Amino acid sequence: MAAGRIVTLTMNPAVDVSGTVERLAPAHKLRVSGARHHPGGGGINCARVLARLGAELLAVFPEGGATGGYFTRLLDEEGVKRAAVPVAGETRQNFTVDETATGEQYRFVLPGPALDAMEIGACLAALARNLAGVSWLIASGSLPPGAPDDLYARVARLARAAGARFALDTSGAPLASAMGAGLAIVKPSRRELEGLAGRALPALADVAAAARAIVASGGAEHVAVTLGADGALLASRETILVADAPAVAARTSVGAGDSFLAALVWAFEHGAGDALAYAVAAGSAALLSEGTALCRPDDIDRLAREVRARGLQQAMSR
């Protein structure tokens, strides 16, 4: 089938800076080696993965200051088409440091610039202008300071008006406010799903029940729950599927969820019957790269041959 255009929305993008130190220690100058810079933020990461998969896409995001200019240059280097919205505040930076002595990874996430009502309105207007003929809209990541909790619910209404299917990956109040607003896919982690359910979900059956409840209530057509090393679960009205993650030698923890969501939307758009398996392979492939480099298509294809999605009862009987 012919694939349509995909738009991503990232309301709080960042220049992701990563590198390594031998050991973290207080009150010392820590000499970082192997410094790398990538454009980041949830929706931007999805766009980077989709561009590698050959999607026709556009990334919409606010851009501010010198860091924002550097951010867009990094995005251009990856061949991601963009619609940047100028804002007064400086685009943020995030920092990921790998400690070589222990193998631990430390992530330092800054809040980002506060956006006022006019700037938020400009972002939504830019999004609306670019939704004509779009198959999928993906919004992923945190909201910047000053953004209302119902922003993603407003985005969902724009997608619905344009006839685009909407996939959302966020957490907390912005996630809760968007439920039932016309989501095609919502992608919580187990912890985020526990927040929505208001209870712990220690067993696979608990996760499945909470995901099924969201679908049954009209919260979303599909609930894709990422389970870390345990893989992922995908619930719809018709079925619940589970796929184990392949064993990989992880070099990072950054970008696995974004890679998963990008690959899931890609597989849905191309009518792939093994969409969950492909998405789990992409999330696992992201762990193989250093820092914030994200997944590579050849790694996705290789790992996808090791992943099989199966029904819930079959998964629970193992």
Residue 138, in any domain of the structure: yes
How much helix, strand and coil, in percent to the nearest 5, is found in the chain? 35, 25, 35
Task: Give the residue numbers marked as catalytic.
Answer: 258
Distance CA 96, CA 44 (A): 17
Whether the predicted pLDDT of 1 surpasses 80: no
Q: Which of 78-87, 245-254, 270-279 has the highest mean pLDDT?
A: 78-87
Q: Are 253 and 292 in contact (CB under 8 A)?
A: no
Residues forming a β-bridge with 101: none
**Looking at the predicted structure, is the pLDDT value of residue 276 above 70?**
yes
For position 3, what pLDDT does the model report? 64
Within-domain flag for 62: yes
Looking at the predicted structure, is the pLDDT value of residue 254 above 90? Answer: no
Inside any domain, residue 29:
no
Number of separate domains in the chain: 1
Q: Is 32 part of a structural domain of the chain?
A: no
Is residue 26 in a domain?
no
CATH of the domain at 77: 3.40.1190.20
Q: For residue 33, is it within any domain?
A: no
Between residues 28 and 302, the one the model is more confident about:
302
d(CA 220, CA 284): 25
**CB-based burial of residue 302 (10 Å sphere; 0-12 exposed, 13-18 middle, 19+ buried)?**
middle
CA-based torsion, 142, 144, 145, 147: positive or negative: negative
pLDDT at 181 (0 to 100) = 94
Q: For residue range 194-212, what is the model confidence (pLDDT) as tens digits?
A: 999 999 999 999 999 999 9
- The SS3 assignment for 35 reads strand
The CA distances from residue 196 to 32, 177, 210, 248, 264, in Å, are 39, 10, 9, 30, 22
- pLDDT band for position 292 (50/70/90)? confident
Distance CA 235, CA 163 (A): 23
Domain that holds residue 253: 5-10+39-89+115-316
CA distances from 65 to 76, 93, 127, 167, 274 (A): 17, 12, 21, 29, 43
- Is 109 part of a structural domain of the chain? no
Going by the DSSP 8-state scheme, the letter that residue 218 receives in this structure is T
Give the model's confidence band at 317: pLDDT under 50 very low, under 70 low, under 90 confident, else very high: low
101 within domain boundaries: no
C-alpha 49/C-alpha 138 separation (Å) is: 12
